[in-house]
Structure 1
Amino acid sequence: MPETTDVVIVGGGLEGCATAWALTRRGVTDVTVLERRTVGSGGTGKSSGIVRCHYGVASLAAMATQALEFFEEHGAEIGFRQAGYVVGVGPENVEALRKSMAAQRAVGVRTEDIDRAEVAEMLPAADLSPFAAFAWEERGGYGDAYQTAQKFAALARAGGARIRQSTPVAEVLVDSGRAIGVQLADGSTISAGTVVVAAGPWSVGLLAPHGIDLPITVHREQIVLIDPGEDLGDAPVLSDLVSLQYVRPESGGQLLFGNSDLSQLHEADPDDYSDQAEPDFIELAVEKVAARFPGWSNASITSTYAGCYDVTPDFNPVISRTQIGSLVVAAGFSGHGFKISPSVGELVADLVVDGRSSLPHVPESDFRLSRFAEGDLLLSPHPYAGAGQMR
């Protein structure tokens, strides 16, 4: 007999497992998650793990601040450290910063101005002279995306969901305009009342046969880990929108560096790409970190890695019902997925159960798939010069 389930979720990363967790909290317990490898083994495991609410798009800021409750509740279990988050801008972006902060406060984000002297106390080795203004989120910080996915999976299982690993999906099954289940790579099928596709960049190939154009491109994101040569203490996350970089503490006293300049992206095959940073990127990291932290005279590179972003044209996710009945997609997170993942799970669960969002300040229409065909992209009304894509 074919296997049946109320909801089948394709993808056992952060968003798929968060959706299973959220559905069980809504009382939908007959849920099956299908993961082609192991939980969190795809893009989830390569996340840089920043937790922030600093977004110009109000609905994203609202999702991020609501998600903080999950991070704060589970804390050390998911590697969450509430070290705080600082964003610094140059003179050309001060107005955008002020307007963005005001919009964030309107949806519940706790963000405040902080002066140069206060930032210098937290980051004494930094050259802060190029910055004209700073914003501070005391509740921000960083965490471990892999551990977070595992926590979602454990909570979902406790709520009654089933998570099947090493179970690749070959096809979404559709009949008379409605999704009715999936076919697995081994030829077997699972019937379902609702299908949720949360498979990152692999979502594109699953939806395309049904005429659903998911406008996602895959881009390689490189990370460099640095030994600063001194104790970082309780250093916060720093988002440097002057030299376009972000840095945060890492385990063992290291510093994680990422590049915020997304003006030139590097397309990649998510099934075949180098998982190490390239020499020119390492040179860029050295230049940027040395310029911002000239006090680190004994700093050295310790390791590198690379992952992939599934990027949409407006750098914001698709969390949406589709033209196929009973088919919901959650993909294209463009680097935002970790910090909003608890809210993503809740929004997808809302779409499955009610067809609309119950999250305050998060209209489901913001993340609809059709916005791309309509030419109505989800963009910040207060973009930062040089870093508009990620803010």
Structure 2
Amino acid sequence: MTGHDTAEVVIVGGGLEGCAAAWALAERGTTDVVIVERSTVGSGGTGKSSGVVRCHYGVASLAAMATRALEVFENARDVLGEDVGFHQTGYVVGVGEQNAGALAASMADQRAVGVRTEDIDASEVAKLWPSADLEPFAAFAWEERGGYGDAYQTAQAFAGAARRAGVRLRQGTTVTDLITRSGAVTGVRLADGSEIHTGTVVLTAGPWSVPLLAKHGITLPITVHREQIVLIDPGEALGPVPVFSDLVSLQYVRPESGGEILFGNSDLAELEPADPDRYSNQATPSFLDLAVEKVGTRFPGLEDAAIASTYAGCYDVTPDFNPAISETDIEGLIVAAGFSGHGFKIAPSVGRLVADLVLDGTSSDPDIPASDFRLSRFAEGDLLRSPHPYVGAGEMR
């Protein structure tokens, strides 16, 4: 292709967040938008998401984002025009004695921004997960509306809704640089040498956002972390079990629609740096050992459980394990990256915050202040952290 295109807004990256941003802009009447994706929609980190849906966050603005997003998942057919694979199984989180106070305080903050979460007794959890050993837990929280979904399917649904509204999607198209003049963005340059001229660029390219910003003197502090996932055949029909976040042994499990259990490790104290373009898509033998040990310890009732398969994806992790959804020092350039594993469950709200920043320069939701997610907080040393951190699992909350 030669020549130059124009658009009111260019979104770089056709993953879940970029497609959600396009949908949210269209929802507000801005449809002269083009999504530029180097491969296909959802082909990056989106397709590897474990898809847990929860509103349990110690950071109130994140809890608010999650509960607003939940309304979109629950009403996807009406809002997006198609199913997004959301299974409302419920979500339970359990903590040991040292974290019981933090759990109660966090739940109070969550309720203040509209999260429906409640205390639940161990006897009730035992009915939900009869194969679990609950002895080490001191307290539990229960979200009846939680569950899991399909991030790839959700990205496709956002893209479809945006396109029906008039947004353009260019797949197989790589952005190689941002074009600026006098401190403002004026477009993007593509691999074939052509340009798209625009006054607003939204950068939602995950870890691939980093080099595009670095060329223009903007530091986005992201570590790419390889996140390993193990699928387990429980050896028996489990029935309708909820997502279980175990903050004693630092693991989470959720059912798969085919009857398997998905296992993830919640201990992110040590990251496993990776190249997002070249990383092993299989769990390591040591991680398999860890999965067997953790699942076997917590679910001793699953006597015939066996490993079914494994895969790996990448998190784009910031210093505080929370995203930058922010204007930058370049006028008209907005970044939404560094989701650190939280991106799926808050995606509809991310899209709406991006649309607010593009159209209004600030957030429209008082429970989700734009300042919480400003990129400059990293340089300022003013990190976004929970006031009620869980000992041993602070990164996850």
TM-score under structure 2 normalisation?
0.98
Partner of 1:70: 72
Tell me how far apart the structure 1 counterparts of residues 354 and 190 of structure 2 sit (CA, whole Å).
23
Q: 1:10 aligns with which of 12, 27, 35?
A: 12
Tell me how far apart the structure 1 counterparts of residues 258 and 48 of structure 2 sit (CA, whole Å).
18
Partner of 2:335: 329
Partner of 1:244: 250
CA contact (8 A) 1:84 1:236 kept: yes
Q: How does 1:1-391 map to 2 (within 5 A)?
A: 1-74=3-76, 77-391=83-397
The one-letter amino acid paired with 1:172 is L
Q: Is the partner of 1:280 in helix, strand or coil? A: helix
The one-letter amino acid paired with 2:24 is A
Tell me how far apart the structure 1 counterparts of residues 235 and 83 of structure 2 sit (CA, whole Å).
28
Tell me how far apart the structure 2 counterparts of residues 280 and 200 of structure 1 sit (CA, whole Å).
28
> Per-residue CA shift, 1:363-383, capped at 9, x if unaligned?
000000000111100000000
> Displacement of 1:2 after TM fit?
1.5
CA contact (8 A) 1:62 1:360 kept: no
The one-letter amino acid paired with 1:118 is E
Q: Is the partner of 2:224 in helix, strand or coil? A: strand
> Displacement of 1:231 after TM fit?
1.1
TM-score under structure 1 normalisation?
0.99
CA contact (8 A) 1:79 1:143 kept: yes
Tell me how far apart the structure 2 counterparts of residues 171 and 347 of structure 1 sit (CA, whole Å).
24
Tell me how far apart the structure 2 counterparts of residues 217 and 359 of structure 1 sit (CA, whole Å).
29
> Per-residue CA shift, 1:144-167, capped at 9, x if unaligned?
000000000000001110011000
Tell me how far apart the structure 1 counterparts of residues 187 and 292 of structure 2 sit (CA, whole Å).
49
Tell me how far apart the structure 1 counterparts of residues 239 and 37 of structure 2 sit (CA, whole Å).
39
Tell me how far apart the structure 1 counterparts of residues 134 and 9 of structure 2 sit (CA, whole Å).
51
Identity %: 73
Tell me how far apart the structure 2 counterparts of residues 185 and 390 of structure 1 sit (CA, whole Å).
37
Q: Is the partner of 1:17 in helix, strand or coil? A: helix
The one-letter amino acid paired with 2:21 is T
The one-letter amino acid paired with 2:285 is P
Unaligned runs of 5+ in 1: none
> Displacement of 1:6 after TM fit?
0.2
> Displacement of 1:360 after TM fit?
3.6
Unaligned runs of 5+ in 2: none
The one-letter amino acid paired with 2:271 is L
> Displacement of 1:43 after TM fit?
0.1
Cα RMSD over matched residues?
Answer: 0.8
The one-letter amino acid paired with 2:85 is G
Question: Aligned pairs, how many?
Answer: 391
| Residues 315-324 or 352-361, more deviating | 352-361
The one-letter amino acid paired with 2:170 is R
Tell me how far apart the structure 2 counterparts of residues 230 and 165 of structure 1 sit (CA, whole Å).
42
Tell me how far apart the structure 2 counterparts of residues 107 and 295 of structure 1 sit (CA, whole Å).
37
Q: Is the partner of 2:225 in helix, strand or coil? A: strand
> Displacement of 1:251 after TM fit?
2.5
